[in-house]
A = this chain, B = another copy of it.
Amino acid sequence: MSLEKSPRHEIAHLGHVELFTSEPERSLDFFVRVLGLTENGSHGDSVFLRTWDDYEHHSLKLTAAKTSGVGRTALRASSEEALKRRVAAVEERGMGIGWVDGDPGIGPTYLFRDPDGHEMEIYWETERYQPPEHLRPALKNQAQAYPGRGVSVRRLDHVNYLAKDAATNGGFVCEALGGRVTEQIQLDTGVISGQWTNFAQKSYDLVYTNDWTGSTGRLHHIAFATDTREDILRAADIALDNGVFIETGPHKHAIQQTFFLYVYEPGGNRIELCNPTARLIFAPDWEPVTWTEAERAKGQAWGLKTIASFHTHGTPPVDTPAQ
């Protein structure tokens, strides 16, 4: 069977992501009061939450569960035809599960898994969010009024998965979904230990980094974008005074040059607050930037050493394998 490489721009953007938490009340408080998301309904064990400038029904599906980790990641196709093509490409690779009832606000949804087992779904039809009166924005080119509550993140930005083999999964995103690797890490052994993939001009949307435990299907972090770097600095103060654990930052990544702050939400999942400044990837023939071990050893952009827990904390937690 010959698998043709997918054309670009078949996936428009990351739609929403599901997060599991065994501390649903505290996690909800974190996302609503500390990050400034807005509730937009609930269903069963899940609460739907949205950032103020995501245009769909929700950005985050927070689901009470026995443990932490990531549930389904939803991707919006660029058109109905693109949806069909992507379903075919996924099925061709044997990763498909089938059509399912989508979340509220979402039309026909096709469920599948990436090679590492993370659940993903793809859809085309979507309802544009209609804010209630008290959340109506003053400017009509904005999805919802600016909340002015806590960090007030602008959008869901990206998902960073842990995977047994980053390159296999990054390859799947490129080949089946039309993504492209914009940056990656290559160890001295030749192993690709991390891949950042994007779907259009935003510099990355889905990221895979190797899971040191050899487990599958786990999460490194999900990220929300703020409007400014100052929002990240302010977020650090908000985290500090709300007893939110700050893992590392604020600082600037060398990879992708994102300004970042990493915190843990009460359910234990790592959350990145990120700001790209004005950086975008324009070159249609962008060559992946490959970072070596020696380059990574220099730490982040301004010299901050990569924190050790970046290599040991993922969700859900697993027993660390004997060395």
Contact = CB atoms under 8 A, between A and B. Distances in A.
Interface of A: 8-9, 12-13, 34, 53, 55, 76-79, 128, 137-142, 145-146, 148-151, 154-155, 183, 200-202, 225-231, 233-234, 236-243, 246, 248-252, 254-257, 259, 261, 275-280, 282-284, 289, 291, 295, 301-304
A142 B12 CA distance: 25
Contacts of A13: 201, 282-283
A201 B137 CA distance: 22
A55 B282 contact: yes
Contact of A278 (B55, B227, B230, B243): B227
* Copies of this chain, tallied across the complex: 4
- Of the candidates A8, A140, A237, A283, the one having the most CB atoms from chain B within 10 angstroms of its own CB is A237
Nearest to A12: B284
Q: Is the interface of A mostly helix, strand, loop or mixed?
A: loop
A232 B55 CA distance: 26
A8 B139 CA distance: 27
Nearest to A291: B140
A289 B141 contact: yes
A278 B227 CA distance: 5
Contacts of A276: 278
A55 B283 contact: yes
Given A241-B137, A256-B141, A277 B227 contact: yes
A99 to B, nearest CB: 20
B200 A79 contact: no
A138 B145 CA distance: 30
Contact of A277 (B9, B228, B243, B291): B228
A34 B255 CA distance: 25
Given A240-B139, A301-B240, A284 B154 contact: no
9 contacts: A12-B283, A79-B284, A146-B240, A154-B277, A155-B278, A226-B278, A228-B277, A230-B230, A250-B250
Nearest to A77: B284
A241 B280 contact: no
Contact of A148 (B154, B202, B238): B238
A139 B302 contact: no
Nearest to A276: B278
A226 B234 CA distance: 12
Nearest to A78: B284
Nearest to A15: B282
A280 B148 contact: no
Nearest to A151: B148
A236 B257 contact: no
A55 to B, nearest CB: 6
Contacts of A254: 139, 141
Nearest to A9: B9
